[in-house]
Structure 1
Amino acid sequence: MKKTSIKKEAKSPGGFLREYLGTPVFATVALLVLLAAGVYSFVSLPRTVNPEINLTLVNLSAVLPGASPEEVEKLLAVPLEKELSGLGGLKNITSLAGEGHLLATLEFEDEIDRQTAVAEARAAVSRVDLPSLARRVTVKAVNFEDEPILRAAVYDSAGPVALQKNVRAIKEEMEKSSLIDRVYADGVGKKKIYISAPAEEFFLRGVTPPLLRELIWQKMLSQPAGEVRQGESALPLTVSGSVSTLDDLRALPLKTAQGSYRLGDFARVIEMEDPSTLGAFITDRDGHIRPAAVLTVYRSLNAPIAAATAEAEKILRTAEEKSPTLQTVKIWSVNDDMNEQFADLGRNLVLTVILVFALLWFFVGFAQAAAAALSIPMVYLGAFAVMYFFDLSINFITLFSLLLGLGLLVDVTIVIISALAVRLRRAEEALSAAMAVWREFAGALAITTLTTVWAFLPLFLSSGVIGEYIKPIPIVVTAILTFSFLVGFGIILPLSVAWARRLTAGGKVAGKFSLGGRPSGFAASVGFLEKTYRKVLRKIIFRPRFRRSVWAVLTVFFLVSFALPVLGLVRNEFFPSTDFSYLYVSAELPAAA
């Protein structure tokens, strides 16, 4: 009994690997798990314009009118940096002192969230005794996604007054939404406050324009009034300015050496249209040129682009329903551009699957081609799961990475299927052939995969904003290469063994094996190509004259390739030209026109 057992173990080497390759249940379960994880990850991945920049940066700015850079450094930068340097999690402060202004950037540790960093920085600023003339001290987190998501034109056939009213209502309604941060309206007359009086009126009361401007700023700005602390968090308290309406401005008290006055006693304070506002026009469906307004919409921090865009478009449609004379035209949308990029990715994916399938069908057979084509979506699903694990979004960098990996992911499967087909045509048993393919190619393909992965590793180790920006490239490409190896050997190879056993009696085949056959006529063509290729290789290997010819051709090809960019025949540009469905035209009339 023991001897028999020993013989059976000797005839069945491979252990777990043989069991895995010979039992399609394992590969089927792996396929289903990968399918479920990939689909869930793809649906859950957020869509953004740019990659996530996981850096906590806070900008601080302040204005000190009339101060030199040295005075700004002494009066603003030094005391602010001294107070801010005690904040927890602060890595460094970079300050830039200019003529009358200060700009500082605070970089925090990655584990400090933006809201906490901003609250702590504002509380620290409120504790600093700044000069009384310092104003417009702002603390704001750096938002790398602060870009417009929608631009739309609005026009009203009822006239400019109705247009301004409707645009103002649309803008207010959008900014009420938690998904939309702000909306800019161009082309609509903007209001400005004008203060005018005869020069002698100012002179008699000892009021100068700089004094009046500084006094108005002080009355309009919010002033720090302490802070509220809870644990390690601090929230600053401010007192709102006393001037918020035209009547408040007219009643503004002025004290000079000549006496006490109110601004409205000697000056005219009115609100008028800003004459510098550029007009916007649109040609309606009937060919009439009408005044219009262009709305530029920005989403809130971390708000989904699709949801924010849908909210803005819903508000525009509601405004059209309320006002029959109002019309809106969508000029540009980030969400539409991203959907178009996804459509391009899908088309490229389908085209790649078709080309791979057709190529393998012609050369090795239908079933092998189907197995290789199956590997492409499976590898992508694995890449989506990795993106979900690393909290990546779908943006133009990750889309570029997915397209970059599209040409790499089929190599492993093609090698496996081709090698397996060659052994099966030699009448080898299916499982034994699969084991031989594993032994011969697993190590070599693993090394080539790791070599390519290592080539992208420096991108992953890059630091700073650029490092965060390009980090998705090595992650996505590494995921594609890794899953191409795992899917090829872990799913495609065992399923091919099961298919071969199903189509052959007892796993034995005779003659040429194709697992379903190739299109008629191609077998002879492939045989002709193989004979021709073998004949050419023999000449190159065994005849020196042919070797010298090959080296000469390669040298010429190498030199010509490098000469093309130098001669300008191949353009060298970082971003290639792109086709857009709209264009910009700029025209300027002479001053005397």
Structure 2
Amino acid sequence: MNALIDLCVSRSRAVLVALFVLLVAGTVAYRGIPKEAQPDVDFPYLSVAVVLEGVSAEDAERLLVRPLEQQLRNIEGIKEMVASATEGRASVTLEFEPEIDIEQALTNVREKVDQAKAEMPADAREPTVNEIKFSQFDPMLVINLGGSLPERTMNSIARKLKDRLQAVDGVLEVNLAGIRDEVLEIVINPLAMESYGLSPADVLNFVQRNNRLVAAGSLQSEQGRFAVKVPGLIESPEDLLSLPLKTDGQKVVYFRDIAQVHRTFKDAESYSRLNGKPAVGIRVVQRNGSNLLDVVANIKLVVAEAQKSWPPGISLTYSRDKSVFVRDDVNQLVNDVVVAVLLVVICLIGILGLQNALLAGISIPGSFCAAFLLIGMSDMTMNMVVFFGLIMSVGLVVDGGIVVVELADRRMAEGLDRRVAYAEAAKRMAWPIFASISATIVAFLPLVFWPGLIGSFLKSMPIVLVYTLVASLLIAMFVVPALGSIFGRAGHLTPENRRQLMLAEEGDLNEIGGWTGVYMRVVTRAINHPGRTVGLLTTMLILVFIAYGTFGHGVTLFPAVDPPQGSVDIRARGDLSTQEKDRLVRL
């Protein structure tokens, strides 16, 4: 280690260039790290859903829920299983232990669901197994389209915009709300149908047989192999009306002879309103690990480009824009970090002087930039937990630099050359600095292995502390001596300070004045009376526990704060229709 310190001091300009590269690289890395308000935590939840049209809630429990429960309860690692049955549908939500591999759990659940499917009715749809991600319930942005245009035009614009948004990097999925699927409605004349000897079943089978794509194999030729298909999909009302139903003597009966066909929409299953007016909502969900601020900015660029081709009369409104909250939170946290750094630097200047404060304070930007590089390589994001870790590390990363600068300043005051003084100070204090920072790292390191969801949420804070402390250790032992050999000079120790130091080392402690003298005399008395000192400290410790037990308000992970937004859930008795729910909400 001594040889490496001598090398850094002798190659001080190379170390200065390396520090500059570190600062630039760290700044670039910070700009590229995804920003978000809170850490992205994988919640160990899986959901299983099965649909069986027309079945009652009681029958859904018996026919769908019970087979699933019998198979799923045998899966290892399940913490809780919650099942529910409603009319036409059943679902099971599984909560696993936090340490379970969710991908393996997903595979195990799908295998058990396949086994349970054999015990379900044949009419039941294919069960779906999905990982529950809370980002699905909290989109990063909702785009609301309103106006007086026809519904078909609004739906077409919304679907085209959805296709363009799905191609944006960082978008997981795009969902539409307040939109109805377009269908062909067939109105059959029963008298005409009966006069031609047709039944409703005949007409239904006819439509089903003629609305399919038939594969007819392939054709091999000298030019290659080509797939052959017979197109039979109904794409317009005219396609259906012109289909022949049967021949009645010399007459061909077409579909138009017994029915009328027109384009319409399915009955509404949901409604979307903005400020009381109908609107089409486009919910955009963020992909994990993407930079929310950049993704939302790109989405708005895509919407602005698409808006140029829209007809007049469409109103565009953004709601639930998480980028606004994230940007405000990140800016506030950055300001907190800057304020913490400024306060530490001001304290250093007041105690060490400007020059020595700058030499010791170089650990702050150097450690932060090194941490940014490691955060970027660790696929972490900049969130409130990471910023809290940076704030906690501000006062810790300067300790090693302060020790080296103080000892070097003293040696220079005694007449040593600055290169020799800083090299000697780094060598002399290397192991104390290493022991001090290592003890701090060891204190935070167990938090990295904190189990459960809380551990996953807070894990990035001790990681950031370890990154910054390790970087500060290297900077204090190698970078500060190199910079001191270039810019260091004796100056902040006055003759009186030197006399006080000499008295502290070799003279009478009672002659030391100021706060240093008071401190030395208190320590001397505590050493001379160890029993009283230990008894006093033990009494104070007990009193602290008693005071907290008497006046404390308990423990909570996060303080209660006023939320920036809220939601209202309305629950009513009975199975309300969609229209009844809409009227209830509008009240």
TM-score (ref. length: structure 1): 0.63
For 2:482 and 2:282, locate their aligned partners in 1 and report how far apart those are by CA, in whole Å. 57
Structure 1 residue 420: deviation in Å?
Answer: 2.9
Q: Describe the SS at the equivalent of 1:297.
A: strand
With over 3 angstroms needed to count, the CA separation of the structure-2 counterparts of 1:245 and 1:280, relative to structure 1, is farther
Structure 1 residue 368: deviation in Å?
Answer: 1.6
Structure 1 residue 433: deviation in Å?
Answer: 3.0
Root-mean-square deviation (CA, aligned residues, Å) is: 5.7
With over 3 angstroms needed to count, the CA separation of the structure-2 counterparts of 1:344 and 1:430, relative to structure 1, is same
Partner of 1:299: 286
Partner of 1:350: 338
Which residue identity does 1:534 align to in structure 2?
T
Partner of 2:552: 566
Partner of 1:137: 127
For 2:155 and 2:482, locate their aligned partners in 1 and report how far apart those are by CA, in whole Å. 64
- Encode CA deviations 1:405-439: one digit per residue, 9 max, x unaligned: 33432333333333333333333332443244334
With over 3 angstroms needed to count, the CA separation of the structure-2 counterparts of 1:168 and 1:489, relative to structure 1, is farther
- Encode CA deviations 1:548-584: one digit per residue, 9 max, x unaligned: 9x9799789947973796269xx9561452674x787
Question: What percent of counterpart residues are identical?
Answer: 17
Structure 1 residue 341: deviation in Å?
Answer: 3.3
Partner of 1:334: 322
With over 3 angstroms needed to count, the CA separation of the structure-2 counterparts of 1:144 and 1:497, relative to structure 1, is farther
Partner of 1:410: 398
Alignment size in residue pairs? 482
For 1:586 and 1:125, locate their aligned partners in 2 and report how far apart those are by CA, in whole Å. 35
Match of 1:75 among 43, 67, 78: 67
| Unmatched 5+ stretches in structure 1 | 1-12, 196-218, 220-241, 248-263, 283-289, 515-529
| Unmatched 5+ stretches in structure 2 | 186-208, 210-232, 239-257, 498-511, 572-582
Structure 1 residue 479: deviation in Å?
Answer: 0.4
Partner of 2:30: 42
- Kept in 1, the 8 Å contact 2:37–2:325? The answer is no
Tell which deviates more after alignment, 452-461 or 107-116. 107-116
Q: Describe the SS at the equivalent of 1:169.
A: helix
Structure 1 residue 494: deviation in Å?
Answer: 2.0
Which residue identity does 2:299 align to in structure 1?
A
Which residue identity does 1:399 align to in structure 2?
F
- Encode CA deviations 1:212-250: one digit per residue, 9 max, x unaligned: xxxxxxx9xxxxxxxxxxxxxxxxxxxxxx999999xxx
With over 3 angstroms needed to count, the CA separation of the structure-2 counterparts of 1:244 and 1:469, relative to structure 1, is farther
Q: Trace 1:8-87 onto structure 2 (pairs within 5 A).
A: 14-48=2-36, 50-53=38-41, 59-63=47-51, 65=55, 66-67=58-59, 72=64, 75-77=67-69
Partner of 1:540: 522
Q: Trace 1:304-323 onto structure 2 (pairs within 5 A).
A: 304-318=291-305, 320-321=307-308, 322-323=310-311
Structure 1 residue 165: deviation in Å?
Answer: 4.1
Structure 1 residue 330: deviation in Å?
Answer: 3.2
- Encode CA deviations 1:339-367: one digit per residue, 9 max, x unaligned: 33333343334333433333323332222
Structure 1 residue 499: deviation in Å?
Answer: 1.4
With over 3 angstroms needed to count, the CA separation of the structure-2 counterparts of 1:538 and 1:246, relative to structure 1, is farther
Structure 1 residue 495: deviation in Å?
Answer: 0.6
For 2:452 and 2:237, locate their aligned partners in 1 and report how far apart those are by CA, in whole Å. 47
Tell which deviates more after alignment, 113-122 or 325-334. 113-122
Q: Describe the SS at the equivalent of 1:46.
A: coil
Matched, 1:471 2:459: yes
For 2:358 and 2:297, locate their aligned partners in 1 and report how far apart those are by CA, in whole Å. 40
With over 3 angstroms needed to count, the CA separation of the structure-2 counterparts of 1:324 and 1:467, relative to structure 1, is same
- Kept in 1, the 8 Å contact 2:344–2:394? The answer is no
For 2:37 and 2:278, locate their aligned partners in 1 and report how far apart those are by CA, in whole Å. 31
With over 3 angstroms needed to count, the CA separation of the structure-2 counterparts of 1:294 and 1:499, relative to structure 1, is same
Which residue identity does 1:317 align to in structure 2?
A
- Encode CA deviations 1:438-458: one digit per residue, 9 max, x unaligned: 345332332232222222223
Which residue identity does 1:129 align to in structure 2?
A
Partner of 2:561: 577
With over 3 angstroms needed to count, the CA separation of the structure-2 counterparts of 1:165 and 1:395, relative to structure 1, is farther
With over 3 angstroms needed to count, the CA separation of the structure-2 counterparts of 1:119 and 1:333, relative to structure 1, is farther
Which residue identity does 2:373 align to in structure 1?
A
Which residue identity does 2:125 align to in structure 1?
R
Match of 1:485 among 466, 473, 486: 473
- Kept in 1, the 8 Å contact 2:405–2:422? The answer is no
Which residue identity does 1:101 align to in structure 2?
A
Partner of 2:358: 370
Which residue identity does 2:516 align to in structure 1?
R
Match of 2:387 among 399, 410, 415: 399
- Encode CA deviations 1:89-110: one digit per residue, 9 max, x unaligned: x988986555473536598999
For 1:348 and 1:295, locate their aligned partners in 2 and report how far apart those are by CA, in whole Å. 35
